[in-house]
Amino acid sequence: MVVGPKDEFEDASDDERQEQGRSEQEEDQAQYEQPSSWEDFWRRTTAQHDEAMRNAGKDPYKPWEPADGKWGSKIAFGMPVDKQHRCFGCGTATTTRFECCQCLEIFRERAGRAAGDDWERAFYCSHECYKGDWEVHKDRHGPSKFGPSKMDSRIHEFDAAKGHGALWDAEELKRLNFVSCKPVW
């Protein structure tokens, strides 16, 4: 038995073996091809990670930093680091009461799959501002791609968020659908 993290190196169960149609002999061979030590495994995955970063035009040795938000404040975990929320549409100072539902869905989806994602959550000052901004804003809900980051070397592809424009009202705890905000996706 090779020493390593439990899940990585544990024997496949009989069920698993049957499912994948592998014989016990092939299984032994697969075990043999496992990295011989944790250090080998670590060295190899680090090299793969660095290569993926460089292929995406990023510097693997640059420490992770908060991204720039739409209005210039630094963004971490979808929110401005200085907690000075500004309306995504008009830029005026606002609260976190009205939030674009599609952007929130996208944020949750991405946060669960791409570590260190720099997606910014979109808060609005009013219903009117959201409706007025819709024609421009809706494009933000299109399909996108997130390249490798310092914390995650995979490339993630995300589907478009569908449906009419809607705001989540964090005070009334309800979703406000606007039929005038026609979906594009």
Burial class (CB in 10 A: 0-12, 13-18, 19+), 107: buried
Q: What is the total count of residues that contact Zn ion (CB under 5 A)?
A: 9
> In the window 46-105, what residues touch Zn ion (CB under 5 A)?
87, 89-90, 100, 102-103
Shorter beta-carbon distance to Zn ion: residue 148 or 165: 165
- Alpha carbon 182 to its chain's center: 25
* Contact yes or no for 102/166 (Cβ under 8 A): yes
Cα torsion angle, 8, 12, 13, 16, sign: positive
Query: DSSP assignment, residue 58?
Result: -
Helices (H), 20-167: 24-32, 38-55, 101-113, 127-137
> Is the Cβ of residue 49 or residue 141 nearer to Zn ion in the bound state?
141
Shortest distance in whole angstroms from residue 177 CB to Zn ion: 13
Residue 91 CB, shortest distance to Zn ion, in Å, is 7
Nearer to Zn ion, 90 or 176 (CB): 90
Instruction: Give me the 103-132 binding string for Zn ion, x by CB under 5 A, dash otherwise.
Output: x------------------x--x---x---
Pick between residue 103 and residue 114 the one whose CB is nearest to Zn ion: 103
| Residue 166 in the binding site for Zn ion (CB under 5 A) | no
Q: How many CB atoms lie within 10 A of CB 156?
A: 17
Smallest gap, in angstroms, from Cβ of residue 121 to Zn ion? Answer: 9
* Residues engaged in binding Zn ion (CB under 5 A): 87, 89-90, 100, 102-103, 122, 125, 129
